[in-house]
Amino acid sequence: MTSSPAEPSDAHKELAKALERGAQAVVPEHGIAAKLALAESRNRPLRIKLGLDPTAPDIHLGFAVVLRKLRQFQNLGHQVVIIIGDYTALIGDPSGRSATRPMLSAQEIQANAATYTSQLSQILEANRTEVRFNSEWLGKLDFASVVQLASRMTVAQVLQREDFANRMAARQPVSLHELLYPLAQAYDSVAIEADIEMGGLDQTFNILAGRDLQREMGQEPQTALFMPLLVGLDGQKKMSKSLGNYVGIAEKPLDMFSKLMSLADTQMREYFTLCTDIPLEEMEQLLGTVAQGANPRDVKRRLAREIVKIYQGDAAAAEADAEWMRIHSAGELPSEIPAAELPSDAVRSGRVWVCRLLTVTGMAGGTGEARRLLEQGGVELNGKKLTDASLELPVEEVQNAVLRVGARRYARIEVKQ
């Protein structure tokens, strides 16, 4: 059954190198080239597996790293198999968690999975993407089959895992059902006959368990392709929506651009590698110019522009760049300033109190905050700094005026009659 796969050619190795761009690890080491050779010798596309937790879907650059990698395989004619872990979500993946995950309700899972599929199409090619729910096969297993499957893995093997080991050591509870998680994920690989499984390093145990189980069940073990987790804009934690350090792929070009420009210089290499298709040699050359004294801002602009281009197109990227320069470098006003309405009941005998102006336009959360912003010198009206919290402005002066709060919040005032 496990006939030795064909020897990879130089061309395979070359392709594998490109596919391994940005990867953190590949197990076994030359597994990608080997799979490419296998695909060619058997004249069939590879099946690349990616398991997704149907929790909160949020397609941001971090998630896009993995999706773009999948797309790369698709471009070579391979088949992507997305597994929505609706059944495993009932267990709750213990990976990287110090506590038991809450179980999701069936409705939550359904709703999340639906949004996933629509979002995936933004990066993946639909006709080379198969979306499967693992309840399809896991739900069919009866207790005897589960027991039999479970017999293929030992408790010691499972407990070896860091998460469990740590929790045991810290006397945190580990529920029995959590021990079944790796087994379930491994069985997914068997069910869909995966050639390659992608995931983060936090998935090491689960993915390698898939290899073991496949071998046990007479299949050729999958190659594991580990992609790093993209560090978010804060430079500290992995990019995630809940941490607020993310860049969504559907954001407005200027927002995307601005967010990317706020990256720390030291994160540029990581973002170039994982979020763009710029050849690595070119990246090195660009980063090299910075070392020689070039303004890192310009290299970062290039980075931001490349990324915006991928999702919003070349024109939008160029526009975002120009706009950003206008605002930040030339210190000019943005070309589009959101309008804010000033309701008539905020006006008293032809005058508006500054604090009211700030709260009513949403620039300050309350009078106290408005006062603070004024006192701290963070408020400008038509380029004139305002600092007096008791100031009453005539309506004529406010109509159509540009209100700026802090470095980047603008509003054009529209007085409602």
Partner RNA sequence: GGGGAGAUACCCGAGUGGCCAAAGGGGACUGACUGUAAAUCAGUUGCGGAAUGCUUCCGAGGUUCGAAUCCUCGUCUCCCCA
Q: Applying CB under 7 A, which part among 34-42, 74-82, 129-137, 353-361 lies near RNA?
A: 353-361
For the bound state, the minimum distance from the C-beta of residue 410 to RNA, rounded and expressed in Å, comes to 11
Q: Does 394 bind RNA (CB under 7 A)?
A: no
Which residues lie below 8 Å from residue 279, measured CB to CB, with a gap of 6+?
A: none
Q: Is 350 in the site for RNA (CB under 7 A)?
A: no
Residue 373 interacts with RNA (CB under 7 A)? Answer: yes
Tell me how far, at minimum, the Cβ of 154 lies from RNA, in Å.
Answer: 24
Helix, strand, coil percent content, the chain, rounded in steps of 5: 50, 15, 35
> Which ranges of 276-313 does DSSP label H, i.e. alpha helix?
280-291, 296-312
Per CB under 7 A, 393 contacts RNA: no
Residues numbered 218-237 forming contacts with RNA, rule: CB under 7 A: 234-235
Query: Which of 4, 242 has the CB closer to RNA?
Result: 242
- The whole-angstrom separation of Cα 135 and Cα 256 is 37
x/- letters, 311..340, toward RNA (CB under 7 A): -----------------xx-----------
Residue 373: CB minimum distance to RNA, A: 6
Residue 134, classified by CB atoms within 10 Å of its CB into exposed (0-12), middle (13-18) or buried (19+), is buried
Minimum distance of RNA from residue 331's CB (angstroms): 9
Q: Is 367 in the site for RNA (CB under 7 A)?
A: yes
The position carrying tokens 């109190």 is 353
How many angstroms separate the CA atoms of 67 and 69, rounded? 5
Least gap, CB of 378 to RNA (angstroms): 3
| Structure tokens belonging to residue 116 | 């996933």
- Specify whether the CB–CB gap between 53 and 97 falls below 8 A: no
Among 43, 155, 171, 384, binds RNA (CB under 7 A): 171
Residue 172 sits in the site that holds RNA (CB under 7 A): yes
Phi/psi region, residue 275 (left: phi>0; alpha: psi -120 to 50; beta: rest), is alpha
Distance, CA of 264 to CA of 249 (rounded, Å): 20
Which residue's CB is nearer to RNA, number 263 or number 317? 263
Residue 78: which of 8, 130, 118 has the closest Cα?
A: 130
Q: Which amino acid is residue 132, in one-letter code?
A: R
The site for RNA, by CB under 7 A, has a size of 39
Q: Is 412 in the site for RNA (CB under 7 A)?
A: no
When asked if residue 265 is in the footprint of RNA (CB under 7 A), the reply is yes
Task: By CB under 7 A, tell whether 166 contacts RNA.
Answer: no
What backbone phi and psi angles, to 5 degrees, belong to 318?
-65, -40
Residue from 249, 289, 284 nearest 269 by CA: 284
In the numeric block, which tokens belong to residue 65?
Answer: 């790293």
Taking CB under 7 A as the rule, does residue 159 contact RNA?
no
H/E element, 61: helix 61-75
Nearest approach, Cβ of residue 396 and RNA (Å): 17
* Residue 284-303 contact track with RNA, rule CB under 7 A, x = bound: -----------xxx--x---
- Segment contacting RNA by CB under 7 A, of 9-17, 49-57, 64-72, 165-173: 165-173
Which residues form the interface with RNA (CB under 7 A)? 171-173, 234-235, 261-265, 295-297, 300, 328-329, 348, 353, 355-356, 359, 365-369, 371-373, 376-378, 390, 392, 405-409
